[in-house]
């Protein structure tokens, strides 16, 4: 799934405007214009966090797969096939 920064920016602006409208109705404080730099910072921070999480999850899957393969190699008697459970493991 490709995320478009502009779509995220406009969605965030809409959400913040809804919140500020509710806030101004309650407090009668005029709404100030939202700075684009702040929105860009929030969006990039969120995208960087999501990317780091995906990379971490992929690395953990690879390490876990290597660990399981090592177990199967260690505990499989010589001259036999791999344990039948190996093809059914879903990473």
Number of domains comprising the chain: 1
How wide is the angle at C-alpha 54 spanned by C-alphas 50 and 56, nearest 5°? 115
Residue 16 structural domain = 5-88
Residue 26, pLDDT score: 47
Q: What is the pLDDT of residues 17-67, one digit of tens each?
A: 665 554 444 444 444 555 566 667 777 777 777 777 878 888 888 888 888
pTM of the model: 0.34
Residue 31, pLDDT score: 45
- Please state at what angle helix 5-27 crosses helix 36-75, rounded to 10 degrees: 120
């Amino acid at each position: 799934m490709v995320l478009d920064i502009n779509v995220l920016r406009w969605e965030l602006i809409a959400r913040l405007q809804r919140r500020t409208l509710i806030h101004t109705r309650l407090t009668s404080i005029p709404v100030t214009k939202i700075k684009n730099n702040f929105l860009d910072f929030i969006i990039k921070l969120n995208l960087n966090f999501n990317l780091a999480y995906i990379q971490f999850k992929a690395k953990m899957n690879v390490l876990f797969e290597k660990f399981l393969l090592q177990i199967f190699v260690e505990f499989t008697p010589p001259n036999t096939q791999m344990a039948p459970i190996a093809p059914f493991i879903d990473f």
